[in-house]
Structure 1
Amino acid sequence: MRAVHPVDIKLTQAFEEHLLSLKIKKGQILFREDEVCEYVYFIVKGALMGCTTHNKRKITTYISVEYDFVSSISGLHGSDYSKEYVVAVEDTELLAIHNDVLNRLFSHHFELNYIFRVVLEKYYKDAQQRAHIIRVGNAKERYLYYAKTNPGYLDRLPLELIASLLNVKPSTLLSIKKSFSLPHDQQKELQHCGQKLELYVNQHQSFRNKNIRIHALALEIGISSHRLSVVLNNYFNKSFIDYINQYRINWIKESIRNPQIMQNFTLEALAYSAGFSSRSAFYNAFKKLVGMSPVAYLKNISDEKR
């Protein structure tokens, strides 16, 4: 706490008096869904994960390790029932303080309010960044985000938990991880082919060809169709159709933001011009890659301009 703000000796003594130390084993639940979390916890050693269930599927909402605070997000300070449960990923050592004690200290020590505000600001910035990358980033971008913000955790924590947190399939995350574990010369070759592909597709707008096929595109850029498939899977982490459709969708999104274009073209006309062969293919691809329908996206753009 002193690293954030000077702490009064009385506050230090109060914490020392009321702090509890506890240890929980890997797999042990710290608190459950639909119960009030009565404590705020500080991880001294180990790792915890927050989980919830949706349509009978377990979803990892966060993973916290040493020097992180943990409590119920939905029922902070014991204000409501928790919508998530927290379980130990590793054998974990914790410090805990009861919410009643913490609330009493808030009312008597201004510096604690300031410290807690700083802690919450950091947490919400991290949460916002994580939510953003999961919503708009592809699998590779999510992997790189997690590797950058949590160095060492990809080797330390179970892969299926990180995959759940990043909303990607474990097999996809494993494939991405392996691609970054390739020898340097193989990584450089993949990068070179990937950049060559990007340059060609951008310059020639190949995606606007309704009849584009992987073997024809490979021939045009001068590599085998097998090599192009490897580049798409291991460098871009996309299937051929998703790679092409991403270009089409991006082109349409840019067109939608141009008022002159939207005065003269319908969404369907833009879709056909971008390379989609049918309205249903366009709508399905847009919803898959953007997370909403084209009509909803267009409405959001219109609302932003008001």
Structure 2
Amino acid sequence: MRYKKAPKEDVVYILSILGSIYPISKELSDAFYEKSVSLKVKKETVLLREGERCQYMYFIKRGAMMGQTIHQQKEIVTYISIDNEFVSSISGLHGVVPSQEAIIAVEDSELIAMHNDDLQELFSKYFDMNYLFRVMVEQYYRDAQERTHIIRVGNAKERYLYFINTKPGYIERLPLHLVASMLDMKLQTLLRVQKQHQFSLQKDRETEDWCAKIEDYIIAQEAFKTTDLSLEKIAFTLSSSTHKLSAIFNNVYKMTFADFVNRQRIKSIQLQMADTEAMRNFTIEALARQTGFASRSAFYNAFKKIVGVSPAEYRSALSSSSI
């Protein structure tokens, strides 16, 4: 593994997350800048093998990692963590004993890490480091206890609903066979329960009401023009949950939230591109910015995905048809 000194902006980001839990002293902040390292790994990279000692605590800047153990020749997923979560060996924390689980990349991932020796030094020097770690461990064990309980006593439907409620967006993002393994069920069972849940959503009159609210806010009120529009912001505005809205986008509209918003943006741009007067005053890129796209590449990728041709090709076709 190739570790290098973590970029300052990455450490600032971690400190902002930790600082929301407890105020961090300048001395501890300086230590984080000095001792944090970064690492990029490809999908399926084995970061730690079962039986090895884990030497680092990791923070997932981008990507997904899983814990995996082998029992009676069967691979069992013990946890899956994604962006903005901390990861290490659960059974072999701080490398005290060999790990009973491997740590494997589920996606291409960017990690920020700190070696156990450096962590122990910070624990010995700074009260705020000890307090932060205690809060994080307490939260982890609460989550782990709840997860273990529902997996042991809940039926397949209860386990599925627990997962999509506590981990919104995971089911759309992660390989389903890994999710099934973590929930202690066969893939066929997970697919059946998922299909039943989707069907119940489609038949729910409440879903129709939520669709009306979503369309009024995103389309009629033109919230799609907001560059940093997110599922969390819409959930807050509509007094809903990200899980409920994500389920509606995926099961009713048959697309992700991002695709739904980008389609509204592209429709708006297509209408403006058909307006000769508008195109005299604005470039295509300017229209994209006004319609909510944060970057040129994001706009071009979305346009090609939705329309099937590039913006320039579409505009050329419009010009030809008007002759």
- TM-score, normalised via structure 2 length: 0.57
Deviations 1:158-210 (A, max 9, x none): 1100100000110010011111222756468xxxxxxxxxxxxxxxxxxxxxx
Q: What CA distance in whole angstroms lies between the structure 2 residues aligned with 1:71 and 1:184?
A: 37
Q: What CA distance in whole angstroms lies between the structure 2 residues aligned with 1:74 and 1:172?
A: 29
Q: 1:79 maps to which residue?
A: 96
Give the counterpart letter for 1:74 in structure 2: S
Deviations 1:35-61 (A, max 9, x none): 111100011111000000000000000
Deviates more, 1:176-185 or 1:50-59: 176-185
Give the counterpart letter for 1:54 in structure 2: H
The secondary structure found in structure 1 opposite 2:19 is coil
Deviations 1:188-242 (A, max 9, x none): 8xxxxxxxxxxxxxxxxxxxxxxxxxxxxxxxxxxxxxxxxxxxxxxxxxxxxxx
Residue 133 of structure 1 and its aligned partner are, at CA, apart by 0.1
Pair 1:113 & 2:133 matched: no
Q: Please give the residue correspondences for 1:86-101 in structure 2 after superposition, counting only pairs within 5 Å.
A: 86-101=103-118
Q: 2:5 maps to which residue?
A: none
Q: Please give the residue correspondences for 1:137-148 in structure 2 after superposition, counting only pairs within 5 Å.
A: 137-148=154-165
Deviations 1:227-280 (A, max 9, x none): xxxxxxxxxxxxxxxxxxxxxxxxxxxxxxxxxxxxxxxxxxxxxxxxxxxxxx
Work out whether residues 53 and 59 of structure 1, in 8 Å CA contact, stay in contact via their aligned partners in 2: yes
Residue 27 of structure 1 and its aligned partner are, at CA, apart by 0.5
Q: Please give the residue correspondences for 1:54-203 in structure 2 after superposition, counting only pairs within 5 Å.
A: 54-182=71-199, 184=201, 186=203
The secondary structure found in structure 2 opposite 1:5 is coil
Aligned length: 188
- TM-score, normalised via structure 1 length: 0.60
Q: What CA distance in whole angstroms lies between the structure 2 residues aligned with 1:6 and 1:187?
A: 45
Taking structure 1 as reference, are residues 180 and 99 closer, same or farther at Cα in structure 2, changes over 3 Å only?
Answer: same
Unpaired runs of 5+ residues, structure 2, are 1-17, 206-323
Q: What CA distance in whole angstroms lies between the structure 2 residues aligned with 1:148 and 1:17?
A: 38
Taking structure 1 as reference, are residues 184 and 27 closer, same or farther at Cα in structure 2, changes over 3 Å only?
Answer: closer
The secondary structure found in structure 2 opposite 1:50 is strand
Q: What CA distance in whole angstroms lies between the structure 2 residues aligned with 1:184 and 1:120?
A: 36
Unpaired runs of 5+ residues, structure 1, are 189-306
Deviations 1:1-27 (A, max 9, x none): 111111111111111111001110110
Give the counterpart letter for 1:173 in structure 2: L
Give the counterpart letter for 1:107 in structure 2: S
Give the counterpart letter for 2:129 in structure 1: L
Q: What CA distance in whole angstroms lies between the structure 2 residues aligned with 1:120 and 1:146?
A: 20
Taking structure 1 as reference, are residues 187 and 21 closer, same or farther at Cα in structure 2, changes over 3 Å only?
Answer: same
Q: What CA distance in whole angstroms lies between the structure 1 residues aligned with 2:183 and 2:47?
A: 23
Q: What CA distance in whole angstroms lies between the structure 1 residues aligned with 2:60 and 2:146?
A: 22
Taking structure 1 as reference, are residues 177 and 11 closer, same or farther at Cα in structure 2, changes over 3 Å only?
Answer: same
Residue 67 of structure 1 and its aligned partner are, at CA, apart by 1.4
Compute the RMSD of aligned alpha carbons: 1.2
Give the counterpart letter for 1:65 in structure 2: I
The share of aligned pairs that are identical, in percent, is: 53
